[in-house]
Structure 1
């Protein structure tokens, strides 16, 4: 891996900033280059985006506490495919 490339772990750390359009252009370019080559990370970002959109429509009082905990556990335990 060269200094210009991004690995899956770095992408996971930056996904929120990416979706909020808060990455500087050089980092965003590295992020998108990795996405174009890594199906696992592409799926992760799309699932993250979909989850944010879906949960944005659900109020906290409507979420079953057990479901909320399972959802949090799933995100905490997720590991991207390593390249």
Structure 2
């Protein structure tokens, strides 16, 4: 099994933390983390960010913002149907 580069780990971090990587990929990530302090710190930082953001209350858009988003979506949907 080949070595995992730091950039490859960064691209897989979400899947790694969500536990959706296969066993071979998970092992590659674990081996890389065992020898790379920078990536270990990065994964720890992402974990902490996920935990912190999970405790934030949901934001509810204002009626004006919601109406604007709906207009944007409807315009986008109409343009896609016209293709």
Identify the TM-score tier after normalising by the shorter chain: 0.5 to 0.7
Runs of 4+ in 1 over 4 A off after TM superposition: none
Equivalent in the alignment of 2:48: 50
Normalising by structure 1, report the TM-score: 0.68
Aligned to 1:22: 20
Is there any run of 5+ residues in structure 1 with no aligned partner, and where? 62-83
CA distance in structure 1 between the partners assigned to 2:55 and 2:39 by the alignment = 25
Whole-Å separation in 1 of the counterparts to 2:5 and 2:24:
15
RMSD: 1.5
Counterpart for residue 7 of structure 1:
5
Q: Which has the larger radius of gyration?
A: 2
**TM-score (norm: length of structure 2):** 0.68
- Tell me, which stretches of 5 or more residues in structure 2 are unaligned? 60-83
Bigger RCO (CA 8 Å, 6+ sep): 1
Please give the alpha-carbon distance, in whole angstroms, between the structure 1 residues aligned to 2:23 and 2:54.
27
